[in-house]
Amino acid sequence: MCPKKLNQPAAILFDLDGTLLDTARDLGETLNRLLAARNLPKISYQAYRPIASHGALGLLNLGLKDHFGEDQIHALRNEFLKSYEANISLHTDFFEGMSECLMALENKNIPWGVVTNKPAFLTDQLLLNYPVFKNCAVVVSGDTLTEKKPHPAPLYFACEQISVTAEDCWYIGDAKRDIEAGNRANMTTFLAAWGYTQDELPIEAWQADHIIESPLELLAFLND
């Protein structure tokens, strides 16, 4: 059954990791390099993939939670980020159908942008590897403002940068904090079920306006 079409959005904003780009393997293998340096067992792809949206601290907790104290977290995070930065796009690529989705938005003259919790120095370096991001209308990273998702401020800021109202935008993300931020900003929210959706609550309880199984499914909601 074809989904009910919505009014054409003024813009569509996306989360980055787990929504636009499949970064899990590069993030997880960064963790495994840290583990190997300490003669600790590696973590499997199946185990680290669901944690990828939780960033360096989430992955460090997965692999090293029994081997470091609170006083070591800052140094370990810096080591993780330095190693990840040096290997940021070895295995990363767009999720299937996402490039086509972004091209379709451009053909429809719908601006699109990125709102992520990833630090700007990593976001900027990662996006340089994919030419399509030259057409991105706005990029807001995790340290662009003092607040980050699930706070709605980054979404409001993105809208201000492209001169649209939040109520007229859609936000697509794969984490509960994405949906919370989008809802708090009064955007139409879409849960990217292809991403890294692990949480204590089932995805049906996240209160997304829509749950979609593939990037191209997003286009079915657009008016012709």
124 part of the active site: no
Sequence-distant (6+) residues with CB within 8 A of 109 are none
Residue in 110, 160, 106 with CA at minimum distance from that of residue 10: 110
Catalytic residue (one of 15, 22, 174, 178): 15
Sequence-distant (6+) residues with CB within 8 A of 92 are 21, 22, 23, 25, 26, 126, 129
**Which residue in the block uniquely carries the two structure tokens 């931020």?**
181
H or E segment and range at residue 60: helix 55-64
Strand order in the sheet with 210-212: 138-140, 112-115, 11-14, 169-173, 188-192, 210-212
Name the pairing type of β-strands 188-192 and 21-22. Answer: unpaired
Contact indicator for 155, 185 with CB cutoff of 8 Å: yes
Measured between alpha carbons, how far is 206 from 211 in angstroms, rounded to an integer?
A: 10
Sequence-distant (6+) residues with CB within 8 A of 71 are none
Measured between alpha carbons, how far is 218 from 224 in angstroms, rounded to an integer?
A: 13
Catalytic residues: 15
